[in-house]
Structure 1
Amino acid sequence: MRKYTFKTQRPKIVVIGGGTGLPVVLNGLRKQAVDITAVVTVADDGGSSGIIRNYVNVVPPGDIRNVMVALSSWPDLYKDIFQYRFQGDDQFFAGHAIGNLIIAALTEMKSGVFDAVQELSNMMQVDGHVYPAANEALTLHGKFSDGTELVGEAEITAAHKSLERVWVTDKNGKEPQAVQPVIDAIMAADQIVLGPGSLFTSILPNLTIGNIGRAVCESDAEVVYICNIMTQKGETDNFSDADHVRVLNRHLGQNFINTVLVNTEKVPEDYMDFHKFNEVSKQVSHDFRGLREQNCRVISSNFLKLRDNGAFHDGDQVVAELMNLVGHSDVFR
């Protein structure tokens, strides 16, 4: 992979999201001469993270764990131990990743996930900053197009119904706020990257935190959205790339997305294993006119990486475009 260098100080790039898409971008960015901050969702309540959240009353650690590994300079053996997930016949520990348990323990020791993650980042030799979007576990709410509402990320995803909007609340049912370092990083950023990841359950849970959404809109940074390759059942069925951006803009009340990265390579027919990847339905359609009507610059290319009968973003290709964009910004001309 080509490494981009800059004559001035390292560009500050803030990546906001969650799920499996975020580490793909971070793995590529850490090879570049950039200052990385990852802002990670804390509204996940499924899988091992959900079980730990329910029984230990801490922020769901799964997305944070994967991001820390992506940015860690640890030897591969240490990363593998941190990522190790106990087998199904291990009873009490079944399905839990060791890293999730460590993050949960540190959260109790430090009386909050933010300080816990900073301590663990030092220990894991993380290249950059990993910031939980809030210092407590948040609850995701979803309103569907039929007027019904559900609470909880896992419940919303499992409903497989058309979503109209989502929002998050804290443990008291009130609007949460991010800690100040998150806001400071966004306001100081040269580039803000959203995604790739689930629109309603990985990206918007961060942006609907009041002061994060406001900071993203007020920042002078270029806001880049990496559009998903495949639609997701119940979340984005039949969505075009312009529909994804339209939902983001609607949630924040303005056209804040500056640039969209769109994959134009077709996923071969009969390649996808829809049983294994049962949350996806079909490839995202294109509506370049709809994107331009929302004042978006469109960068379309082959960002596709086929792996394990699934369609993913090619992290190196995505990062190459991000570097081109930040390299031609006003700050780094």
Structure 2
Amino acid sequence: MNQLNKNKRRPKIVVIGGGTGLPVILKSLKEKDSDVTAVVTVADDGGSSGALRKSFNAVPPGDLRNVLIALSEIPELQKEIFQYRFKSQDEALSGHTIGNLIIQATSDMKGNIYDAIQLLATMMHVKGHVYPAAEEPLVLHARYMDGTTESGESRIPKSGKMIDYVAVSCAEGRKPVHASRKVISAIMDADMVVLGPGSLFTSILPNLMIPDIGEALMNTEANVVYISNIMTQLGETEGLSDADHLRVLHKHLGGKFVDIAITNIGLVPETYIDEEPNDEYLLQVEHDFKGLQDEVPLIISDNFLELLPRGVYHNGEKVAEEIFRTAFNSQRKVKQFFDNR
């Protein structure tokens, strides 16, 4: 594909992941002149999503809900209603958000999660496309470094052991796992595919371990970008540098498929880490520039920090600007240039 021309069309950007980091990037990308598609993990089994999944044998709605809100252009009051969470004393509705209940009800009405999300995306004036990674709930399985195993996205990080490898299976039976409709075509037609930010083993890899998604990432002509996490996570990435995160991704798919790493070099103040109430995060991810050079052809490093009262986040506007600029100005598969020097 020739260099993207601003007068011809908007770059197609596919973002894959889940958790709290993904909506931050999507909300900022929405403001860019790009065609954005979000592919969202369906392996969550905790909190409100886990309870609805168990009760209805359904795809967990929480990550999908947050992505719909991030890309929606409905008024803020309507977003607040959609995101309202019932209090713990509300008995049967304790901990559930209205949005999760609406997604579950729409899925029941339409008969599947894919059609439900497309209907809600239209109702919520979503700018872009939102697809579940798969159309049925998946179970995440982990093998630890000591050879022991565990299953369940919410249980895996609680063992206190280092994770070696993860895989996914269908929640029911031994059916093969397949990507949702339009996910593979979106990846293959994209100008850029973005992974993260998000929990490495429980938000990003559950999507990549769906066989046809992993295969598409290995074969797409789009540049594949990884947004490195800012902080290490308890039960997942203790002691891992930004280069180590990439090594884990490449190990899982059996080859180097990431072309560009976006990594933070801003320093999180120690006082902020000490005072941070979120016990999920530990220390800042170490920046290993030489290690990154061994894994990817192009590294984009800057101070991408945004320190908020509820946690350490990427500055969505700065990251989105880098993604958009790179997608717009670079040819597909930047690594081909490096491979053929």
Q: TM-score range by the shorter chain?
A: over 0.9
Look up the match of 2:156: 156
Look up the match of 2:246: 245
In 1, the alpha carbon distance for the partners of 2:17 and 2:275 equals 24
Look up the match of 1:31: 31
More relative contact order, 1 or 2 (CA 8 Å, 6+ apart): 2
The one-letter amino acid of 1:147's match is G
Contact 1:193 1:225 in 2 (8 A): yes
Task: Please identify, of 286-295 and 316-325, the stretch whose mean Cα deviation from structure 2 is larger.
Answer: 286-295
Instruction: Please say if 1:179 is aligned against 2:180.
Output: yes
Contact 1:144 1:162 in 2 (8 A): yes
SS at match of 2:154: helix
Instruction: Please say if 1:107 is aligned against 2:107.
Output: yes
Equivalence map 1:1-333=2 (5 Å): 6-170=6-170, 171-272=172-273, 276-308=277-309, 310-330=311-331
In 2, the alpha carbon distance for the partners of 1:311 and 1:108 equals 37
Offset at 1:50? Answer: 0.3
SS at match of 1:266: coil
Contact 2:144 2:165 in 1 (8 A): yes
Contact 1:271 1:310 in 2 (8 A): no
In 2, the alpha carbon distance for the partners of 1:273 and 1:77 equals 34
CA deviation string 1:132-162 (max 9, x = no partner): 0000000000110111100100110222320
Contact 1:6 1:33 in 2 (8 A): no
Name the % identity: 53
Contact 1:305 1:314 in 2 (8 A): yes
Q: Which stretches in structure 1 are left out of the alignment for 5+ residues?
A: none
CA deviation string 1:23-53 (max 9, x = no partner): 0000000001100100000000001000110
In 2, the alpha carbon distance for the partners of 1:166 and 1:173 equals 17
Offset at 1:320? Answer: 1.0
SS at match of 2:74: coil
SS at match of 1:89: helix
In 1, the alpha carbon distance for the partners of 2:81 and 2:42 equals 23
Q: Which stretches in structure 2 are left out of the alignment for 5+ residues?
A: 333-341
Offset at 1:275? Answer: 6.2
> Which of structure 1's runs of 4+ aligned residues deviate more than 6 A?
none
Contact 1:175 1:210 in 2 (8 A): no
* Cα RMSD for the two superposed structures: 1.3
In 2, the alpha carbon distance for the partners of 1:274 and 1:130 equals 36
CA deviation string 1:251-287 (max 9, x = no partner): 0000001000110010011112566211111000011
Could you tell me the TM-score, scaled by structure 1's length?
0.96
